[in-house]
Structure 1
Amino acid sequence: MLLPNGTFYHPTCASSQTSPVLITADTAIPLGGKGSTTNINIPGYISSARVWYASEDVLKFYIVWNPATNSPTMVIPSAADPSDASADVNWGFVELSYTGSGLFANVSYVDFVGLIMGIRLEEKAPVNGTGVQMAQGLQTNAIKSICDGLTKQTGIDGLEWEKLCLADSKGNLLRVLSPSLYISDQPTAFENLWTSYNDKVWKQYQSQVLTIDSQSTNGNIACQVQQSDGLLHCAGSSTTYARPTANEIFGCNEGPFAISAGANDIHKAIVPRLCAAFHRSTLLSNGGNVQPSLPASSYYADQASNWYSKFVHQFEGDGRGYAFAYDDVAPNGGADVSGSVSTGNPGTLRIFVGGSG
């Protein structure tokens, strides 16, 4: 954790600490008012880090001994648990890695939409172009707009979309949970969202070939559903693919989308592209027999779609920001909707809190 004085703090606890204990060190870095800038220098390399932001209150982090790893483990705030100590706080984060290879950051809504923010990465002495990359993040009133859209969608299909919206103790909209996070507590939610769509996909690709563009030296991968076992078989893959459930689609890491230690490169290329196609409902679209190949304007055209992702992108200033795990999948030359920025020659990363207007 980074302290206000610009040094790293490493919280720890004894091996006897079996219950989470509050980290009391002052790790909060106060920000100024609207339009102000707070400068922060990172004293060393960090990997898979987060820059956390909270409005009107500080977030509470805990430490506990983890016998599985034989080391202390940090307990971070939960966006979904109403009993969490930070449940009534408006907060969010930017994901960040800064190593000898460069800097990578992204605006992520894979788990939830909370405190609105955007990012701008400026290269040091750029060689080509302006050396500036940006992900604007969500518009200032995006949470209300997203929830209005989700409520309308519940009225159309009767599913739990409107329940993704959470209010604070005063009844004010606070955050929007992703379907995957909501399902972690409500496992039967959305279970029939893709049932009919799956039936049509499996029927179509019994007689047609589904081509997965690996976008690598593995080239195009031919896939087809075999009537004998009802599974999708892809040439050269280390596994076959069953019809995914809604839970598996939202998470992209279980069932046919699980990547085991022994998985080959073909399977590793198929998983993100196939899962993204289900989220965006492009498998039955004209041209959807090649994945990825369609532009972002073709995403979410079917009722069997991730409507959370659809509305998140709709109310982003530039349509960029991860709304599910493999939202960085895009056709060659297509628009990057993931909201990530990176460079091997980093200068300044600017994080804007409050929205893009």
Structure 2
Amino acid sequence: MLAALAAAVIFATGFTAAGPAAPAEAAVPTTIPLTLTNSSGRADPVYIYNLGTLLTTGQQGWADANGTFHAWPAGGNPPTPAPDASIAGPANGQSVTIRMPKFSGRVYFSYGQKLDFRLTTGGLVQPAVQNPSDPNRNILFNWTEYTLNDAGLWINSTQVDMFSAPYAVGVKAPNGTTKTTGHLKAGGYNGFFDSLRSQPGGWANLIQTRSDGTVLRALSPGHGIGAGVLPASVMDDYINRVWSRYTTSTLTVTPFTDQPNTKYFGRVSGNTMNFTNSAGAVVTSFQKPDADSIFGCYKLLDAPNDLVRGPISRTLCAGFNRSTLLANPNQPDTSPASFYQDGVTNHYAKKIHERMADGKAYAFAFDDVGNYESLVHDGDPQQAYITLDPFN
């Protein structure tokens, strides 16, 4: 999503926090507690950052441990160092509770050293470790994305950009129950990297290690293509078969579960897949995508926030990443038994989902098609949680 350090200015989230405004008497407090528990087994010091956009004003900034908002100062070109927004995190086996304000943003955590944030004239520069010159390239870190507003809390565990330091998120409801997601199965962390190393076709090159041998992360395949470590042609065989199949047959897309009669019909002509509505009128068209468009769910599979092209594109993106478009002409296919069965698929996403305790992940931007995203929500959140999990 963020291709280079200087370009990584705005938050890119893998989910949309949408919903009706809560009634005034049930409004979420200005801040809620966030408890971070360190179960990592690592002795390194942990640093926490709560960065985002203050929803009441639209300002970018950070929150301190008390949930007080601080706006970023003006940046420069080249980017200038940001103020130190770090909060001391918990030692292994300990917990720390801070306050989170009504943000749309990220909570970062790093092991061993602080992250290096910069400011441009356009705002905060996010770490972009697919760029070899990013100052955070050799730091072990990760982040969660969240939105807290009057309609509640949405918080996820994300692998859209990379798979790295393991963690889970949770939210406590008023009745005292806690919803969690993001935990790996026992052995899932090492199992993921072992499986990726053994996957032919360049997938092992997504793994980044530090000079001391520490495994830092695996880049998402879109970033791998951008960094030149995964072949740009990695999905071509599947794409060509899809294009050939729907030259002589029809791909039916029913993008809204609550609108089963809203259908669009795709047929390929040359380099273009045209979608018609039930009246036979062409409503949108897609040029033959490449792997980068598929993995990023953008470019040739752009998904605007509308009611036609965006929902169709989301469905195509999920179908390509999960390799369900040939096995099922009716999309979206939301049966997990059908996912990733073709030899040409998003192996990164496949291996992550296989190792998640609940099967849920944000391994690509529209992993929420069929509700397979690692996201929890509550309309009246009492407490949020982040658990730093073991590296095993």
Compared CA separation, residues 140 and 38, structure 1 to 2 (3 A): farther
Shift of 1:290: 1.0
Compared CA separation, residues 39 and 150, structure 1 to 2 (3 A): same
- 1:276 counterpart = 2:335: no
**CA shift digits 1:290-338 (9 cap, x unpaired):** 11234112211111100000111112222212000100111xxxxx321
For the aligned residue pairs, the C-alpha RMSD in angstroms reads 2.3
Q: 2:329 aligns with which of 286, 289, 294?
A: 289
Q: 2:349 aligns with which of 309, 312, 315?
A: 309
Contact 1:140 1:354 in 2 (8 A): no
TM-score w.r.t. the length of structure 1 is 0.84
Shift of 1:264: 5.1
Q: Distance in 2 between matches of 1:337 and 1:239?
A: 26
Contact 2:162 2:218 in 1 (8 A): yes
Letter in 2 for 1:248: S
Aligned to 2:195, what secondary structure does the other structure show? helix
Contact 1:3 1:29 in 2 (8 A): yes
Q: Distance in 2 between matches of 1:40 and 1:235?
A: 51
Q: 2:171 aligns with which of 116, 121, 126?
A: 121
- 1:180 counterpart = 2:231: no
Q: Distance in 2 between matches of 1:146 and 1:250?
A: 19
Letter in 2 for 1:136: G
Aligned to 1:206, what secondary structure does the other structure show? helix
Contact 2:110 2:140 in 1 (8 A): yes
Contact 1:144 1:173 in 2 (8 A): no
Corresponding residue for residue 289 of structure 2: 244
Contact 2:77 2:120 in 1 (8 A): yes
Q: 1:32 aligns with which of 90, 94, 101?
A: 90
Corresponding residue for residue 48 of structure 2: none
Aligned to 2:68, what secondary structure does the other structure show? coil
Q: Distance in 2 between matches of 1:29 and 1:213?
A: 46
Task: Kindly indicate which of the two structures has a greater share of residues assigned to strand.
Answer: 2
Letter in 1 for 2:171: L
Letter in 1 for 2:389: G
Q: Distance in 2 between matches of 1:84 and 1:243?
A: 33
Q: 2:366 aligns with which of 326, 329, 336?
A: 326
- 1:57 counterpart = 2:103: no
> Superposed, which structure 2 residues align to 1:187-226 within 5 Å?
189-215=230-256, 216-217=258-259, 219-226=261-268
Q: Distance in 2 between matches of 1:195 and 1:82?
A: 27
Q: Aligned residues: percent identity?
A: 26
Compared CA separation, residues 248 and 269, structure 1 to 2 (3 A): same
Contact 1:80 1:181 in 2 (8 A): yes
Equivalences, count: 326
Compared CA separation, residues 6 and 258, structure 1 to 2 (3 A): closer
Structure 1's unaligned 5+ residue stretches are 67-72, 331-335
Shift of 1:220: 4.2
Corresponding residue for residue 152 of structure 2: 102
Corresponding residue for residue 13 of structure 1: 74
**CA shift digits 1:111-146 (9 cap, x unpaired):** 0012111011111247xxx4x321033357544322
Contact 1:111 1:178 in 2 (8 A): yes
Q: Distance in 2 between matches of 1:344 and 1:338?
A: 18
Q: 2:206 aligns with which of 143, 147, 164?
A: 164
Moved over 6 A (4+): none
Q: Distance in 2 between matches of 1:290 and 1:24?
A: 51
Shift of 1:283: 1.2
TM-score w.r.t. the length of structure 2 is 0.77
Shift of 1:234: 1.5
Letter in 1 for 2:164: G
Aligned to 1:204, what secondary structure does the other structure show? helix
Corresponding residue for residue 138 of structure 2: 88
Contact 2:206 2:230 in 1 (8 A): no
Q: Distance in 1 between matches of 2:287 and 2:81?
A: 44
Aligned to 2:342, what secondary structure does the other structure show? coil
Structure 2's unaligned 5+ residue stretches are 1-61
Aligned to 2:216, what secondary structure does the other structure show? strand
Contact 1:300 1:306 in 2 (8 A): yes
